[in-house]
Chains A and B, each alone.
Chain A
Amino acid sequence: MATLNPTVDTDQNTLISPQVWGALRKGMRYAFNYGFGIGVALIFVYPIIWLFSTSTKPNWEIYRAPLQLLPSDPQWDVYREIFDSTPMLDYMLNSIMYSLGGSAITMFFSILTAYGLSRYLFRGKRALMLGLLGVQLLPNLVRIIPLFVMMNSLELINTRHGIILLYGAGGIAFGTWFLKGYFDSIPVALDEAAQIDGASRFRIIWQILLPSIIPGLAALLILQFIAHWNDYTVASVLLRNPDLYPLTVGTFNLIGPDESDFRLLAAATLVNVVPVILVFSILQRYLVSGLAAGAVKQ
């Protein structure tokens, strides 16, 4: 503004011309914003970087120079140790299997349910939507005991398909709400045109609707995958056989309350964290737009 009207007295400093003052203020605001932003980012990211650094330090350096970022002599044997002499790799494969399996079941049923709720009007629809929304807010922790008893009588305890079924079923309400928003954004005229051409409803979903909501499907898949990957409560209750442990349960049982080996603890937590952060960072574009659409529909 000041550049348009050089006679305006900025009254902070009459020796500096308004143009210079404006540029200076702009520069200071940038500097502040960047300083603040970088400071905040470090609070959330530096702990993870520090863990990585600790996991590769030689023993003496962990204790003598805990703040040093780059190890003088990086050592990777703790990672070899983790994958060679502990079952972490098996745990990881279990985690991948459960997370993908659960997400696939959720996606399948959520697509159908969301389509039904988006394309039909029927009595009780609103109540059903509200019911799904309300039940979805209840955390798994609150129903873990009855679930344990139920799964026991269904003989699904200590089985891979049991936990996959439970993960898959548990995501349907969220998935339905999430995808319904995307289906609603596609004009019904598109369905009708395809119907006149003789396409069945399932073909309409598969060939017309799904290809146009790929960002939504991707976001839902990532969110579900991460949620299952990170679950501890359900898996720790349902799976008592160590061969079936996912990464979270395996890591916690491996390390548990023992914090004597800094390097092992740091490395084991990183093995949990790195895959999910990679997925998250690479695909976060879908996530943020997807979350915004799901949480605050315009």
Chain B
Amino acid sequence: MVNLGTNSGALERVREFETAKGVAEPKTVLSASRSGLGLVFWLSFGWVAFMILLAIFASLLPLKNPNFQDYTAVNIGPSVHHLLGTDDLGRDLLARIIFGSRVSLIIGFASVGLALLVGGFFGLLAGYRGGWVDSILNAGSLVVLAFPALLAILVIEAFWTPRTLLKLTIIFAVAGAPSLFRVIRATTLSFATREFVVAARTMGATTRRIIFRELLPNVIPAAVSFALIGVAVAIILEGSLAFLGLSISLPTASLGNIINEGVQNNNLQLNAFIALWPSLYIFILLTALNLMADRLRTRFDVRAGNL
């Protein structure tokens, strides 16, 4: 994820550096001391799951219509009627945020899922088979990773109009697949020469069986940990694009475009809540995703290897 305009990839380099220097990873105020995934992981997991459920069942919940403009209740603060208040057009902010989170969550999870499928398949293949397959895929992934992804996505979106959820998901998946490919390839490489794989091959197991029954289960923890960071990166990216007015077209609410509306036309002065609530939502969601990924990584001792 080195070039997605965020720092998650840089953190991985920092960890490699710390390992090289023989310095233990720093502890936080929350660091779990015992084995197992710890309370922090399950709290984060619970929060993310809760947010996903809210987004899925948004239309069944007793929420107001996110696009209904009530001109008698413009810019009011949090109250019993509107738990998070209303925006400058009198729309209920709680409803807008929950419906808006659908865009972020769908793009985040769908694009990374797609990238995981493609990157994972080729990563397993390249890591296990090696040879020219590996050389070509590796060179290809390096070329894509050398691209400034934010720039590429911006420009492709500018030309590939109109912008739909599907197109955005595909663009994000293409941008994310090479990093997941490299992680899974590196992890596969570290398992491919282990005894149990050699034993399986000696017993005459097919390549397909070795890849799916021997290697895949061992690669999954690393893949999931990196995929979670990938989801966080995709959500940041979608938010940034929506903030720039280049995500899904209006009036569909998304977290980024609510923030964008919140900073326009003096809205920050008049009603800071419009920008504040979705910012807070994104911050908590991303922290939860990062903490989950971090605990999984520590628990299963996942290393990026020679990324």
- Mutual binders A and B: no
